[in-house]
Amino acid sequence: MDNDREQRCKQANELIQLIASTGWKFFNYEGNGGFIGYFEIKKGRTYFIDGYTKKAIYAYTNKFFHYKFTQGGTMQALILDIAEFIRTGEATNAKNGYGGIYCDHWGYPAEAMSKIQKKAKEIGFTDSLEKDLDRHDYIVE
């Protein structure tokens, strides 16, 4: 298996852990008999394991999320973006819409979002808000 891809998967899971440990605690179902969702690579494909349904979702297109994913559309787009980052190593924040980690619809405190954005930049998921704005004209400052 590609060691770089495994490393990006590990980093992506660190980002998910951060998202799950603050604010609304998206992806965290530990209090409901589940666990924090996470990425894994099986047979060269990137999957997201939903912490509530406990089902593996092939994180490639929207069609694989039906009845398996317990978060909303913003987080689904984020998962698709992160999965593409794992596969390619490219900065893919907001490629699937909703502004990604710069979206103001999460409802997270500003301090938490700042930590999430810093971690995303640290691992290479985003280059910066400015570059994401240039790539994706629907992100609003």
20: nearest Cα among 40, 8, 37: 37
Give yes or no for a contact between 125 and 101, defined as CB atoms under 8 angstroms apart.
yes
- DSSP state string for 111-131: HHHHHHHHHHHHHTS-S-HHH
**pLDDT, tens only, 57-83:** 999 999 999 999 999 999 999 999 999
Give first-to-last CA distance, the chain, whole Å: 39
Angstrom distance (rounded) from CA 25 to CA 30: 10
Higher pLDDT, 96 or 111: 111
Angstrom distance (rounded) from CA 83 to CA 75: 12
**pLDDT, tens only, 37-64:** 999 999 999 999 999 999 999 999 999 9
Quick check: 133 pLDDT over 80?
A: no
Q: What DSSP state is assigned to residue 30?
A: G
Higher pLDDT, 5 or 129: 5
How do 45-49 and 38-42 pair as beta strands?
A: antiparallel
Amino acid found at 4:
D
Q: What average pLDDT score do residues 27-38 get? A: 97
User: Mean pLDDT score of the chain, rounded to an integer?
Assistant: 91
